Amino acid sequence: MAGQSGQFGSTVMMEWSDLRIFLAIARTGTLGAAARQLGQTQPTMGRRLRALEAAVGQTLFQRTRDGFVLTEEGTAVLGHAERIEEEALGLERQLAGQGQHLEGNLRLSSSDWFGLHVLSPVLAEFVDIHPGVTVELLTDARLYSLPRREADMVFRIARFDEPEVISRRLLHMPYGLYIRSGLPHPRRGDGAGCRLVTMDTAFDGMPDVGWLRQNLPGATIAFRSNNRDVQARLCAAGTGLAVLPRPLGDATPGIERVDLGAAPPGRDTFVGYHRDLKRLARLRALLDLVIDRLAH
């Protein structure tokens, strides 16, 4: 990228790889998080940042105890860098979308339990049918960006609102209330003496958390986690009752479903991908298989 003279003193040449590093640090706030995002080491990120600041002749970040904060000069660079990123990624998506061979990489993102208990059997079938395709599945709580090509296809319970994303409702996931096998079942509207394994406070507004408060008002919370598999394991250990997705709860040894007369609210699952990839043969093949096996 050719920089402009004026604020930065002279004409500056920046590589796209340098801008990717700048953007990763600006978005994550630390060298370590930026390094993990880009698959680099933290010392390498530090060296590249120092070299970039030397090239532009400006300090782009203020180093604080809490992380890296953009300086006034860094803020000026940010807007330009984001526009260049949009153009570069748009070109990458357009070129990728023209690929018609069933080979190459596909990066997917989903929640941990959905990837393990729902997607894994379908993905195993897919790579068996198409051995030339390498599938990468990222399972964590972060919402990966389709426009920035952090993922090619994303599965999540929230609707997609980005105009450049093609999405559809994939399925409705039923949930159930579970308890360690053999323990007495509680009564609806009571829950006195019961303990619960539920979501952490960041997800306290989820429908199943409110359902537990409404149906077992006398219960106390024993354990919180944003990981459904952890919740299932704690439920099996007798730590407390847990609301779990049925594919996870029904497959977990040592727990059984509790009938309170009304099931916990289920959740819709949506799948989305960038519109520039709609002609990508390997993505279309996977999407067709996922819809055939899971959509209902």
The rounded Cα 253 to chain-centroid distance in angstroms is 27
Confidence of residue 3 (pLDDT cuts 50, 70, 90): very low
Per residue in 45-76, pLDDT (tens digit) is 888 888 888 888 889 998 888 889 999 888 88
Sorted by where each starts, the structural domains of the chain and their CATH numbers stand as 16-97 (1.10.10.10), 104-172+268-294 (3.40.190.10), 175-265 (3.40.190.10)
> To which residue do tokens 């997800």 refer?
203
Looking at residues 81-94, what average pLDDT do you find?
A: 72
Which is nearest to 237 in space by CA: 254, 252, 256, 225? Answer: 254
13: pLDDT confidence band, cut at 50, 70 and 90?
low
What confidence tens digit (pLDDT) does each residue in 238-253 have? Answer: 999 999 999 999 999 9
Instruction: Write out pLDDT tens, residues 226-237.
Output: 999 999 999 999
Q: What's the pLDDT at 91? A: 66
Nearest to 152 by CA among 185, 195, 109: 109
Position 183 pLDDT exceeds 80: yes
pLDDT in tens, 90-148: 666 665 555 455 889 999 999 999 999 999 999 999 999 999 999 999 997 778 888 87
187: alpha, beta or left, given left = phi > 0 and alpha = psi -120 to 50?
Answer: beta
Please report, to the nearest 10 degrees, the dihedral formed by the alpha carbons of residues 171, 175, 181, 184 taken in order. -160
pTM metric for this prediction: 0.67
pLDDT at 100: 53
pLDDT of residue 51: 84
As to burial, measured by CB atoms within 10 angstroms (0-12 exposed, 13-18 middle, 19+ buried), residue 289 is: middle
